[in-house]
Structure 1
Amino acid sequence: MNQTNPILLPYDTPHGAYPFDRIDIEHYREAFAEALKIKRAEVDAIINNPEPPTFDNTILALERCGDAMERVSGIFFNLLHAHANDELMQISEEIIPQMSELSTYIILNEALFERIHSVYQERESLGLDEEEQRLLQNCYEGFAESGATLPEVQKQRLRELSQELSRSGLLFGQNTLKDQKRYRLYLSDESEVKGMPESSLLMAREAAEREGHPTGWLFDLSAPSYFPFMQHCPVGERRREMYLAKMAIGAAGDEYDNREHIRSLVNGRLEEAQLLGYETFAHLALHKRMAKHPSAVYELLDKLLDAYKPVAEREIEQVRRFALERGVETELQSWDWSYWAEQYKQAYYELDDELLRPYFELSRVIEAVLGLATQLYGLGFEERGDIPVYHPDVKVFEVKDEDGSYLGLLYTDFFPREGKQSGAWMNNLQEQYHLESGEDHRPHIVLVMNFTPPTAERPSLLTVGEVHTFLHEFGHALHGLLSQCRFSSLSGTGVARDFVELPSQIMENWLSEPEWLTSFARHYQSGEAIPSEYIDRMQRARHFLVGYAACRQLSFGYLDMAWHTLREPLGEALDVRAFEDEAWHKALVLPPASEGAIMSTSFGHIFSGGYSAGYYGYKWAEVLDADAFSLFKQHGIFSREVAQRFRREILSQGDKREAMDLYESFRGAKPSIDALLRRDGILPLEA
Structure 2
Amino acid sequence: MDSNPFLDPSFAIRWSQLTPEQIEPAIDLALTRAQAAIDTIARRDPASLSYENTFLALEEATEELNLAWTKVTHLQSVADSPALREAHNTLLPRVSTFYARIPLNAELWSRLKAFAETPAGQGLRGVQRRFVDETVAEFRQAGADLPAEKKTRLEALQSELAEITQKYGDNVLDATNAWQLLVEDEGRLRGLPEQAKAAARRSAEAKGLGSTDRPVWRFTLHAPSQEPFLTYLDDDALRREMWLGAIAVGANEPQDNTPLIRRILALRAEKAALLGRPNFADLVLERRMAKSGGRALDFISDMQRRAAPAFTRECRELEEFKAAQTGGAVAPLAPWELAYWAEKLRRVRYAFDEEVLRPYFPLERVIAGLFEVAHRVFGLRVIEVASGAVETWHPEVKFYELADAGGRQLGSFYADWHPRESKRGGAWMNYLVTGGPRADGTRAPHLGLICGNLTPPSPDRPALLTHREVETIFHEFGHLLHHLLGEVEIKSLNGVNVAWDFVELPSQMMENWCWERESLDLFARHFESGAPIPEEIFQKMVAAKNFRSAVAVMRQVALAKMDLLLHLRPQEFLAAADFEAAVRASIADCLVPTSPAVPTIVRRFNHIFSDPVGYAAGYYSYKWAEVLDADAFTRFKREGIFNAATGLDFVAKILSRGNSVDPVELYRNFMGRDPDLNALLRRSGLAPAA
Partner of 2:65: 69
Q: Aligned ranges for residues 518-533 of structure 1 at < 5 Å?
A: 518-533=521-536
Q: Aligned ranges for residues 322-471 of structure 1 at < 5 Å?
A: 322-327=321-326, 329=328, 331-385=332-386, 386-471=389-474
The size of the alignment, in residue pairs, is: 679
CA distance in 2, matches of 1:115, 1:569: 42
- Larger CA deviation: 215-224 vs 122-131: 122-131
1:81–1:420 Cα contact (<8 Å) kept: yes
- Larger CA deviation: 489-498 vs 103-112: 103-112
- 1:477 counterpart = 2:480: yes
Which AA in structure 2 matches 1:668? G
Which AA in structure 2 matches 1:29? E
- 1:24 counterpart = 2:19: yes
CA distance in 2, matches of 1:5, 1:241: 48
Partner of 1:493: 496
Partner of 1:577: 580
Cα offset, 1:622, TM superposition: 0.8
Which digits, 9 at most, give the CA deviation of each residue in 1:439-477, with x for residues without a partner? 423211100000000011211000001001111111101
Q: Aligned ranges for residues 308-327 of structure 1 at < 5 Å?
A: 308-327=307-326
- 1:506 counterpart = 2:509: yes
Partner of 2:288: 289
1:267–1:569 Cα contact (<8 Å) kept: no
Cα offset, 1:315, TM superposition: 1.7
Which digits, 9 at most, give the CA deviation of each residue in 1:199-221, with x for residues without a partner? 11011001111222221211000
Task: Work out which of the residue numbers 673, 679, 682 in structure 1 matches 2:677.
Answer: 673
Partner of 2:604: 602
1:81–1:421 Cα contact (<8 Å) kept: yes
Q: Aligned ranges for residues 1-400 of structure 1 at < 5 Å?
A: 2-9=1-8, 11=10, 16-50=11-45, 52-122=48-118, 126-211=122-207, 212-214=209-211, 215-252=215-252, 254-327=253-326, 329=328, 331-385=332-386, 386-400=389-403
Change in CA separation of 1:592 and 1:337 when aligned onto 2, cut-off 3 Å: same
CA distance in 2, matches of 1:530, 1:344: 22
Describe the SS at the equivalent of 1:396.
strand
Q: Give the CA RMSD over aligned residues.
A: 1.6
Change in CA separation of 1:309 and 1:684 when aligned onto 2, cut-off 3 Å: same
CA distance in 1, matches of 2:347, 2:135: 55
Cα offset, 1:590, TM superposition: 2.4
Which AA in structure 2 matches 1:652? S
Cα offset, 1:22, TM superposition: 2.8
2:116–2:122 Cα contact (<8 Å) kept: no
Which AA in structure 2 matches 1:293? S
Which digits, 9 at most, give the CA deviation of each residue in 1:23-76, with x for residues without a partner? 322122221111111111111111123353221111110011122212212222
Which AA in structure 2 matches 1:177? L
CA distance in 1, matches of 2:185, 2:72: 43
Describe the SS at the equivalent of 2:326.
coil
Cα offset, 1:431, TM superposition: 1.7
- 1:682 counterpart = 2:678: no
Which digits, 9 at most, give the CA deviation of each residue in 1:331-354, with x for residues without a partner? 312111000111111222222232
CA distance in 2, matches of 1:74, 1:581: 36
1:267–1:570 Cα contact (<8 Å) kept: no
- 1:623 counterpart = 2:627: yes
CA distance in 2, matches of 1:77, 1:488: 19
1:482–1:651 Cα contact (<8 Å) kept: yes
Which AA in structure 1 matches 2:451? V
CA distance in 1, matches of 2:268, 2:369: 43
1:576–1:598 Cα contact (<8 Å) kept: no
Which AA in structure 2 matches 1:174? D
Which AA in structure 2 matches 1:334? P
| Percent of matched pairs sharing the same residue | 36
Change in CA separation of 1:29 and 1:312 when aligned onto 2, cut-off 3 Å: same
CA distance in 2, matches of 1:374, 1:368: 10
The normalised TM-score by structure 1 is 0.96
Cα offset, 1:251, TM superposition: 0.7
Cα offset, 1:570, TM superposition: 5.6
CA distance in 2, matches of 1:629, 1:388: 37
2:450–2:480 Cα contact (<8 Å) kept: yes
1:560–1:613 Cα contact (<8 Å) kept: yes
Cα offset, 1:677, TM superposition: 1.2
CA distance in 2, matches of 1:513, 1:387: 35
CA distance in 1, matches of 2:370, 2:181: 35
Change in CA separation of 1:53 and 1:125 when aligned onto 2, cut-off 3 Å: closer
Which AA in structure 1 matches 2:76? L
2:179–2:221 Cα contact (<8 Å) kept: yes
1:432–1:492 Cα contact (<8 Å) kept: no
CA distance in 1, matches of 2:239, 2:119: 62
- Larger CA deviation: 122-131 vs 163-172: 122-131
